[in-house]
Structure 1
Amino acid sequence: MAFDPTYSDPRSNTVFFERRELNQILRVYGRMVAAGEWRDYAIAGGAETAVFSIFRRTAEAPLYRIEKRPALARRQGAWAVVTQGGLIVRRGHELEQVLRVFDKGRLKVVE
């Protein structure tokens, strides 16, 4: 039996954001860009995690990472907001609740 290169192994799927999730994230991102807090973003999908990284300046390390880890969905929750230093600011089962950490007055960037 020959190897079929068009066959995709179901176990090697990449984790990525669904359209609804990306819309929620981009809504918060747009609000923060309008406020002058953020300037750039990057999106990455991996075997275990999808990451939306937020930058103040393009050349710097990301200020925050919004991570989706489906393997943790039943435990702490699939969603997390992680700071530049690796501190988990918020974790939860619902993206909307996790994104509330960026509501006005809740989070202050310290330089």
Structure 2
Amino acid sequence: MNVVTPTPFPRASTPEQVSFDRAELGAILAVYGRMVAAGEWRDYGISCLREIAVFSIFRRTAEHPLYRIEKRPRLRSRQGMYAVIGMDGQILKRGHDLKTVLRVLEKALIRPVD
């Protein structure tokens, strides 16, 4: 007869957490680095929650984010799981491919030369 002894510290089921993988962070940080070099952005924050991962971009630390890059895996089969959202909450671009979605941020680097 097998007797199972209870463990003193049962493993609690941890909620699944959404995060950016290495390739996604590489693409985001490439755009972020160019904008920092141009003097447009100065700080960022990353939040990994149960249903969403957010990369927030700030001009200064004590502000609301200029842009939020969101990853929502539940929207993978619909509009796409990546989105760039502006300061006012408007979705600037949404899609299935992160590099394509990030192009909306690179348009801010293109300026007319005087």
Offset of residue 103 of structure 1:
1.9
Larger Rg computed on CA atoms: 2
CA distance in 2, matches of 1:7, 1:90: 38
> Residue 84 of structure 1: CA displacement?
1.1
8 Å contact from structure 1 (residues 101, 107) kept in 2: no
Q: Is the 8 A contact 1:77 1:91 kept in 2?
A: yes
TM-score (norm 1): 0.86
Counterpart CA distance in 2 for 1:89 and 1:107 is: 17
SS at match of 1:42: strand
Partner of 2:72: 69
Question: Among residues 11, 33, 36, which one is paired with 2:36 in the alignment?
Answer: 33
Residue among 6, 29, 40 paired with 2:11:
6
Letter of the structure 1 residue corresponding to residue 72 of structure 2: R
Which aligned runs of 4 or more in structure 1 are off by greater than 3 angstroms? 1-5, 104-108
Distance 1:8 1:107 in 2: 48
Taking every aligned residue pair, what percent have the same amino acid on both sides?
Answer: 58
Stretches of structure 2 lacking an aligned partner (at least 5 in a row)? 1-5
Q: 2:50 aligns with which of 47, 63, 68?
A: 47
AA in 1 matched with 2:101 = V
CA contact (8 A) 2:35 2:109 kept: no
Alpha-carbon shift at residue 62 of structure 1 (Å): 0.3
Alignment pair present for 1:103 and 2:106: yes
Please give the secondary structure, in 2, of the residue aligned with 1:27: helix
**Structure 1 runs not aligned, ≥5 long:** none
Give the alignment's TM-score, normalised by structure 2: 0.84
